[in-house]
Amino acid sequence: MPNTTMTLDDLHRILADCGGASEDWPAGEDVRDRPFQELGYDSLALLEAAVRIENEFGVQVPDEVVPLLTSPRDVLDLVNGSAAKTV
């Protein structure tokens, strides 16, 4: 059964595994609203992350939606909002 709630740490782990940027986000900084581009993640890393999110959290992230997810907050809101609807 997939996890139902995604945390910022979960997203960071997935993105680090998908490549693109340094595994470390700015220490002590809330990055929820920082653009993925500033964090060093490109569109390919985000597409790969979308597949991992579907596998781990059971939330489908269509390819056409990925470009609209510009920050970690966007992803967390999508995943956690979708998970709440299925409970």
Report the C-alpha gap between 37 and 17 in whole angstroms: 16
Q: How confident is the model at residue 30 (pLDDT cuts 50, 70, 90)?
A: confident
pLDDT in tens, 31-55: 999 999 988 899 999 999 999 999 9
HSE value, Cβ hemisphere, 13 Å, CA-based, for 2: 20
Write down all domains in the chain, each with its CATH number in brackets.
Answer: 8-86 (1.10.1200.10)
